[in-house]
Amino acid sequence: MDAIEITGLRYYGYTGYFAEERFLGQWFEVDLTLWVDLLAAGKSDRLEDTLDYRQVVDRVRETIESSKVNTIEYLAAQIARSLLQCDDRLGKIRVRLTKVSPPIPDFPGNIAVEIIREKEDSF
């Protein structure tokens, strides 16, 4: 199966265990791998024959900006579910979601989760 990778998406959201995280918010970064058959698009050069990246980016942004949940694991699963439902050609997805500079004392790094879901896992 072919794949499209979209990397470096960065949005401000309100996910976290602490009330301050859900109130003040913080930055999140997303990298995606979208498994989709690109044979038709490779032959036709038509946008209709491939996945519309704009729709993918909009759904990721909307999910991050509107969710107020406790864990990035749940948020990553929400992103995967939303994307798998947006286009029937999309069969499998990898979501790498990073919480940038989480509020952990004396911790200068980031926290990331990576999930892989298939169409049948999304509903």
Active site residues: 99
Which among 36, 41, 35, 33 has a CA at the least distance from the CA of 9? 33
Q: Whole-angstrom Cα distance, residue 40 to residue 86?
A: 19
**C-alpha dihedral sign at 48, 53, 56, 59:** negative
Q: Whole-angstrom Cα distance, residue 29 to residue 114?
A: 12
